[in-house]
Each structure stands twice: as C-alpha cells, then as structure tokens.
C-alpha cells in the first residue's frame, strides 16, 4: 500500500512538473502572438496528426480522414481567436485565449479532484470508467468560477452573466472532447495517444479539452461580433 501511494505521488509530481513546463511555453507563445504562436499551433497540429494516424490504424480510411477536421478546425479557431482585436479592446484575442485556457484547466482540475473525492455515479463507464457525474459537475462549477474571475479582472468587453454561463457550457464540451479521446484510445487499444509529454501521454491527451471547445467558442464569438 505504501509503495502504491509513493508511485501515485511520483506520477502526480511528474504530471505537475510537465504541466508547469508546458504552461510556461504555451503562455509565452500566447503572449508573444504572431509567428511564434502560429508556429506553436502548427507544431502541435503536426504532432496530433501523427498521433491520430497511429490511433486510426485499425479504422476505415474514411474515419481516419476525419482527423483533418478534428485537428485543423480547433487549430484554425485558436489562430483566429488570438488575432482578434476590437476598438474597445485591442488585446481582445489575447484575453480570450487566456480565459479559455484557464476555464479548461479549471474544468480538468475540478473534474479530477471532485471526482476523486466524491465521485460515485459513473459518467460513461463503457468509455472512461474513472469519470463520474460528480466530477463533471465539479469541473463545470470551477470553470464558471474561474471564468468569472478572469472575465472580471481582464475586463473582457462581454455581458458577464451570459459569459459565465458560457464557461459552464465550454466545460461540458471540453469533457465531451475528453470522452471522445478516451473512446479513440479504447478503440485503438492503447493507454495514451503518444509519449511526447511525461506523465500526460501525447499531444492529443493534453489538448483533448480544446478540440471541441475552441471551435464552439470561435463560432459564438463570430456571432457575437
């Protein structure tokens, strides 16, 4: 039992270190914008396409071709969102990306810790046995709280209540992206989409929450503007 706890702690510590390194690189590129951010997105898309091809080895060709939409749409959405600028807020795109990242991170953290502490009812046992309804609710609540804080302190030019509710919707969509990734891995019979990131697996493992949430946010912002 002691050895198992030690292994769990080592795994958690590795995940945290990797997460901080990735967050530092990502934040630096987001703040810089322009070519640097575009290069990061292109690099991530290339890695994810390689991982997708490995996951889809046993799938029909038409299904494998869905990867182009699954990967390029959220990447294009990220680039479009980052480039947005309003007369009332010249860094609107930057604050959007930062808020989106904070909301998805809060979703993952809330779902993990609430699900681990109080999770009893399975969310989708056939796809991801560890995910629970309580974890999903914890992720949604923390995402809305985090989104509200970032919207307020970054002074995003949006109506606060609908924007906070949107954060809750994004949390649910992000979890759907996580479940879809779990389904892909279950179909391929693998534990992780890749081995690039210590403690996390592949690039798809790390960015799964963005794959569905980012195009949704881009669509809503497009309609809003």
- Delimit the domains of the chain by residue range: 2-224
In whole angstroms, give the CA distance from residue 6 to residue 74: 37
**Averaged over 65-72, what is the pLDDT?**
87
* pLDDT of 9 over the 70 cut: no
| 3-class SS shares of the chain: helix, strand, coil, % to 5 | 75, 5, 20
Least confident of 60-64, 135-139, 180-184: 60-64
In whole angstroms, give the CA distance from residue 115 to residue 100: 22
In whole angstroms, give the CA distance from residue 178 to residue 135: 13
Residue 194 φ/ψ, nearest 5 degrees:
-170, -170
Q: Pick from 169, 147, 65: which is nearest to 102 by CA?
A: 147
* pLDDT of 151 over the 90 cut: yes
Per-residue pLDDT at 173: 96
Contact between 136 and 81 under an 8 Å Cβ cutoff? The reply is: no
Which residue reads 């309804």 in tokens? 133
* pLDDT of 5 over the 70 cut: no
Contact between 92 and 82 under an 8 Å Cβ cutoff? The reply is: no
Mean confidence (pLDDT) of the chain = 87
User: Which residues are CB-neighbours of 182 under 8 A, at least 6 positions away?
Assistant: 124, 127, 128, 131
In whole angstroms, give the CA distance from residue 59 to residue 20: 35
Q: Which string of DSSP letters, residue by residue, matches 146-182?
A: HHHHHHHHTT-SS-HHHHHHHHHHHHHHHHHHHHHHH
Confidence band of 2 (pLDDT split at 50, 70, 90):
very low
Percentage with pLDDT > 70 across the chain? 92
Tell me the sheet residues that pair with 122.
132
User: Which residues are CB-neighbours of 135 under 8 A, at least 6 positions away?
Assistant: 110, 111, 112, 114, 115, 116, 119, 123
Residue range 166-179, pLDDT digits in tens: 999 999 999 999 99
Contact between 177 and 212 under an 8 Å Cβ cutoff? The reply is: yes
Per-residue pLDDT at 88: 80
Per-residue pLDDT at 26: 87
């Amino acid at each position: 039992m002691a050895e198992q706890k030690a292994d769990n702690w080592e795994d958690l510590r590795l995940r945290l270190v990797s997460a901080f390194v990735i967050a530092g690189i990502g934040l630096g590129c987001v703040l810089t914008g322009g070519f640097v951010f575009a290069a990061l997105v292109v690099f991530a898309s290339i890695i994810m396409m390689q991982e997708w091809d490995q996951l889809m080895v046993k799938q029909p060709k038409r299904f494998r071709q869905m990867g182009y939409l699954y990967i390029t749409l959220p990447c294009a959405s990220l680039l479009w969102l980052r480039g947005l600028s309003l007369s009332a807020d010249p860094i609107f795109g930057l604050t959007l990306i930062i808020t989106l990242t904070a909301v998805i991170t809060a979703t993952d953290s809330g779902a993990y810790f609430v699900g681990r502490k109080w999770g009893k009812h399975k969310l989708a046992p056939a796809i991801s046995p560890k995910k629970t309804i309580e974890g999903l609710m914890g992720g949604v609540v923390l995402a809305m709280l985090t989104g509200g804080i970032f919207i307020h302190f970054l002074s995003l030019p949006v109506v606060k209540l609908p924007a906070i509710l949107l954060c809750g919707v994004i949390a649910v969509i992000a979890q759907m992206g996580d479940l879809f990734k779990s389904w892909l891995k279950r179909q391929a019979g693998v534990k992780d989409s890749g081995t690039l990131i210590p403690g996390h697996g592949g690039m798809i493992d790390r960015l799964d929450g963005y794959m569905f949430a980012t195009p949704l946010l881009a669509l809503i912002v497009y309609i809003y503007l």
